[in-house]
Each structure stands twice: as structure tokens, then as C-alpha cells.
Structure 1
Amino acid sequence: MIMVAKAVEPKRVMEFDNLPEGCIANVLSFTTPRDASALSVVSSSFRSAAQSDLVWERFLPSDYLSILSQSQFPHLSSKKDLFFHLCHKPLLVDSGKKSFALDKKYGKKCYMLSARSLSIVWGDSPRYWRWISLPDTRFSEVAELVSVCWLEIRGWINTAMLSEDTMYGAYLVYKPSLMGRSYGFDYQPVEVTVGIAGESDPPKRTVYLDAEKPQGQSMRQIIPRRSRRRYRLMADVEEPAPLPPPPSPEPSVESVPNCKGGSECPKKRDDGWWEIELGEFFNKGCEDREMEMAVYEVKSGDWKGGLVVQGIEIRSKFNPINSIKSN
């Protein structure tokens, strides 16, 4: 019996490469974009199957046609071209208030909320924030922080817009102002949270926004402060009286904590902007929830300024910083 089995077995063996192209394409569609691209070099049959619309249609989100309908989009010859176009060229949606992209490794949905779609305390007051246009941003406007003592930025996204069963991270995308000088952030950390809107106690952590000196031992900038009692009031009740531009900072013996490039410090992106992680959340199943992200420093009463905010990006955690670039 053993000798018969050995004689019959070779006749039952069939090389996978001899399968019909449609069958190989169907198998590849159950892998990932990264795996399909890697397997395309196995043989000519795999290479041909890996170009199939059947494969790349499966990697695109099920609602991609609805997303594309929100913006003018160039005609592309194949679903593979469409997939990689969305990986490298974020698409403006929601009347230009958000951008949509795909993670090129796994095809997960990624969004950036523009500064205009965020809630910025005193954001409409030119004394504290001004709206400008820059050539290296996805959006028509970005918010430049002039000077505030109460910093509070919030954004929201519906989890039904995101990929299911995926760990996401939220990141504030910003950089120093055109003058190249920011103040009030090199020593003073800010608080950040990510959690379900309406929850009483979302996870809270502190981070540093100073994009120029996060790892050095630079001196704290001394910026005059006004009475703190006024700023303990709710920020949306009244604006503080305008303050003259701060004088040149004076040195202090207090130094910036050494971040060593940890998660509490900003990281520079390939597009020239900086980002700081606000937190993470797992988007389970098809639950329809509203995630709230916040950045605030409302306790010290110190004046802060000199940053430009592009928005808040929400992307899958295994997606590297530089895999999605601005237009």
C-alpha cells in the first residue's frame, strides 16, 4: 500500500502556476496589496493575474465609487492604477474639508481633517489666528496661530467612514510659521486625547509641539502672562483682551525635557510638515461611533504662538509616516 501511494502521488501533484489565470487572480484577491505585488514576480502567470481588475477591485474599499463621486477624479485605465493613485495622491472630499487616501500596504482608509473642519477656540479672531494659503498643503487654507493663552483644537470623525477591525492613530499635522519662530511650546507640554465623543474620561497624555528643539536642551522662553483668573473661565464665553507682541525671550535655567524622539515628541514627515500622535483607537466591526480628538493647553496661562496647523490625520497604525504624501 505504501508503494502504491508513492507511485500515485506524483500524478496528483499539480503546479500552482498551471492553474487558469482567473483562478490565480481570485486567490491573490484574498491576500493584501503588498502580498499581491510581491507575488507578481513569481512567474509570468502570477504577474498577469496580479494586474487583474478582479484583484484590485477587492483591495479598494466597498464604497470607493461613492467617495470618488465627491471630487473630480482623472480617468484611470485599471483598478490597480486607481488604487496606487489614491495611495500617493490624497483626494479632496467633503467640499475640500477632508482628504481621503489609502494605505498602500493593506488598503486601509485614511483621512485628514482640514483645519477648517476643526473646532479651534478663537479661530475666527484675526488677533489670535489667521487663515493663510500655502503651496505645500492639501487644502486651500491652513490656520496660523498668532498668539493665544488658551489653546484648544478639536476634531471629530465617524468611525463608519473608516476600515473595519483596524487600529487607527490620530496625528496633528503642523509646522512652524513662515517666520520660523514659535514660542510657548519648547518647555510647556500640551494635553491630547482620543476617545468616543461624550465619554467622561478619554485617555489623556501630554506631548511637546516644539518642532525645532524637541530633543535639545534649549532654554525656556519667558513670555509675559496676564492674570490667570480670567483664563480659568470657559474659552467660548469671551475673548481675552488683545496683547501686544511678546518681547524677545529671555533665557532661563529651566531646560526642555529630553524627548529622545519618543512618541511624546513631534516627527518630521517627507512632505516637510511635522506630526505628533494624539492617541489611537481600534475601529471594531461596523460600529457607528463618533471619535473625538483634542489638543489643548489651558492651564498655564502662558502665551503661545508661531505654529501653522494643516489638520488632523487619521490613519492605520501600521502605516509608516511617509507612505502618504500631500498633493
Structure 2
Amino acid sequence: MGQCATKFQVDAKKGLDFGFQAKLHDSDPKQELNLADSNPKTDTKTGLVAESNIERLVSHKYEDILKAADTPIDRSSKEKLFAQLHSGVYLNQKKQKYWIDKESGLNCFMLFSKGLSINWVDDERYWAWRVFEDPEEGKLEMAELLKVCWLEVNGSLDPAILSPKTMYEIVYIFKLYEAAYGWESPVTLKTRFIDGEEIRKLSLQPSFREQWIEVHVGDGEPDIKMRKSSLLTKPRGQWIELVAGEFYTDPAIKKHICFSLCGYEGGKWKSGLLMKGVVLRPKKRE
């Protein structure tokens, strides 16, 4: 079918790239998030994180991020501004959503289907764009899988627009229909850090599949981290959250975080998946 060959190209218009820096470190599941010198306090009347704390955490980035906002931001008061940031702001024609977590005061991002790179998504034989009424997002266009034998859903983000010195997790959010089929083999989830210029050159063609292995350079981090997850036993008809990986935001190195959800083992045709998007959020303390 010629379907199993593609290139991982992340259009600059789909992602935010302010030329910031980040680095991947091994995660310690017992390590607590380094939020600030002290935990931000919440006003019990307004539900807002105290301005002095929240501004200290995000003011160095949120103004840049809001340049891509789809609608004007009400800046008539700090209360109105941060109320919008807590509820979420759509970016780049609703390809992304940015918000500040109320509890921690940390930046979060959602990359919707339109903000991801999905193999064959514009071929009506394999995928369809559907508009759904989502309880959280209102009308939202999502990618619905009709049938593919080679599944790839890729994304990229500059971690420096996230809060620094924080452990983040990357989570795919999707739904499997009751009639979904072809999911006997597990899907593969991959994360890696890569220079911004290299993102456009990265190939995921089958002949280059050996690139997607855990390669160590010296004593540092592996170039790619992978894990497998079975969807066969996942519930049907409800949203599923699948963790692709986690990373630590260190402003020392200029890299982008790239992530993929792939299904190609066995060559079976797959159907019945509805992709909402990928969320990058601070990892909860365990």
C-alpha cells in the first residue's frame, strides 16, 4: 500500500519554539517537585495562586506563550489574567492549549490532534477528521482512525516553555471504540531529546527502524527511551491516558522533547481509535 513509509516532520507552526533550552535526566519516582522556595498559597475566596508566587514561577515565559493565543487576553487585572491562565488559553488555532496548574502554579500544555504529526491523517482512506462536543474543550476536531497497518502519532515541544527544574510526564489521551480491532500487539511509546533543526530530518521509515533503539553515549542518557503497552485490555468507549515518558526540565541544554505512539508490529490493520491529543503536565508526587 506504500503506507508504511513516512517522515517525522514537525511544522514550526504546530509547535512553540522560542529558542529555549532543556535536558533529560533519570527520574526518581520518590523525588518531590521543586516548585519554588516555598509552596504557592491559594486564596480560598478566588481559588487563585497568590500573585507573588505565581509570577515568580511563570512570569518569565507566560507573556511569550500568550503571543500565540487565539483570542485577546483580559489584562485589566491580575485576578482576571490568572483566572484565564488557570482555566486555559487556546493557541495556534486551537492546536494547543496552555494553562497554569492551580495547585502547583506550574505550566501545562495540551497538543490536540491538529497539533500533532499523524501518519496518513489527511488520507480519507485511513483517517477522518471529526468534530465532537467535548465537555472540557467545547467543539474540538479530533483524528479518528479508520484503518492503518502502520500507526504513528508524533509530537514535539520545546521544554523551556514549561516550568524549569520540574519533572514532567507526557500522556497520550485517546478513546477506543467498542468495534476497535487489530490491537493484539502492544503499541510502542518513544521519547527523545533532539536539536530543533534535526526534528525536520528525523526519519521513521521502516528501513531506519534501528534508529529507534536505546543508544547510550558514554555515561549519559540514552538517545531514545522506549516502552511498550498493550491496548487489548484497555476499556472501550472511554478516554484512556497512556504515559509515553517523563523528563526533567533543566534550562542548561537547548533541545526539544519528541514523543511518539507507534503500532506496527505484526503488520495487522488497526481501527477504532479516536485521538484527542497529548498532555505535558507536572508529574504528581507519589
Query: TM-score, normalization: structure 1?
Result: 0.60
Contact 2:173 2:275 in 1 (8 A): yes
Instruction: Identify the residue that residue 214 of structure 1 maps to in structure 2.
Output: 234
Counterparts of 1:127-276 in structure 2, within 5 Å, are 127-136=125-134, 138=137, 140-177=140-177, 180-185=178-183, 187-197=184-194, 200=211, 201=214, 202-210=224-232, 213-214=233-234, 273-276=239-242
CA separation of 1:214/1:73 partners in 2, compared to 1, >3 Å: closer, same or farther? same
Change (3 A) 1:65 1:303: same
User: What is aligned with 2:81?
Assistant: 82
Distance 2:79 2:192 in 1: 35
- Separation in structure 2 between the aligned mates of residue 58 and residue 291 of structure 1, nearest angstrom: 24
Unaligned residue ranges in structure 1 (runs of 5+):
1-28, 42-46, 216-265, 321-327
Number of matched residues?
Answer: 222
Given the alignment, which residue of 248, 253, 257 partners 1:287?
A: 253
Structure 2: distance between partners of 1:170 and 1:295: 11
Q: Tell me the secondary structure at the aligned position of residue 109 of structure 2.
A: strand
- Identical aligned residues as a percent: 29
User: Does the CA contact (< 8 Å) of 1:99 and 1:112 recur in 2?
Assistant: yes
The offset of 1:61, in angstroms, is 3.4
The 1:148–1:101 alpha-carbon spacing in structure 2 relative to 1, beyond 3 Å, is same
SS in 2 for 1:300: helix
2:271 maps to a residue whose letter is G
Do the aligned residues in 1 keep the contact of 2:160 with 2:251 (CA within 8 Å)? no
CA deviation map 1:5-56 (0-9, x unaligned): xxxxxxxxxxxxxxxxxxxxxxxx95233xx12xx68xxxxx9xx9864444
Consecutive aligned runs of 4 or more in structure 1 exceeding 6 Å deviation: none
Offset at 1:76?
6.2
Aligned-partner Cα distance in 1 for 2:265–2:52: 55
Is the strand fraction higher in 1 or 2?
2
The residue aligned with 2:99 is 101
How far has the Cα of 1:176 moved from its partner? 2.5
Higher-Rg structure is 1
Gaps of 5+ in 2: 1-35, 203-210, 215-223
Q: Aligned residue for 2:10?
A: none
Matched letter for residue 209 of structure 1: L
Classify 1:196/1:55 alpha carbon distance in 2 versus 1 (closer, same or farther; 3 Å): closer
AA at the equivalent of 2:160? A
Task: Point out the more displaced range, 68-77 or 277-286.
Answer: 68-77
- Aligned counterparts, 1:46-125, within 5 A: 53-71=51-69, 72-73=71-72, 75=74, 78-87=77-86, 89-125=87-123
- Name the CA distance, whole Å, in 2 between partners of 1:86 and 1:208: 35
AA in 2 matched with 1:143: A
Looking at structure 1, the residues matched to 229 and 268 of structure 2 have their Cα atoms a distance apart, in angstroms, of 16
Q: CA deviation at 1:288?
A: 2.1
Spell out, residue by residue over 1:98-131, the C-alpha distance to the aligned partner (whole angstroms, 9 max, x if none).
Answer: 1111122221111111212222111111111111
Instruction: Output the amino acid matched with 2:185.
Output: Q
Q: Secondary structure at the match of 2:181?
A: coil
> Equivalent residue of 1:100, what SS?
strand
Q: Do the aligned partners of 2:189 and 2:260 also contact (CA within 8 Å) in 1?
A: yes
CA drift of 1:162 comes to: 1.5
**Displacement of 1:214:** 2.9
Question: SS at 1:134's partner residue?
Answer: strand
Higher RCO structure, 1 or 2 (CA under 8 Å, sep 6+): 2
Query: One-letter code of the match for 1:204?
Result: M
Question: What letter corresponds to residue 83 of structure 1 in structure 2?
Answer: F
CA distance in 2, matches of 1:143, 1:110: 22
More helix by share: 1
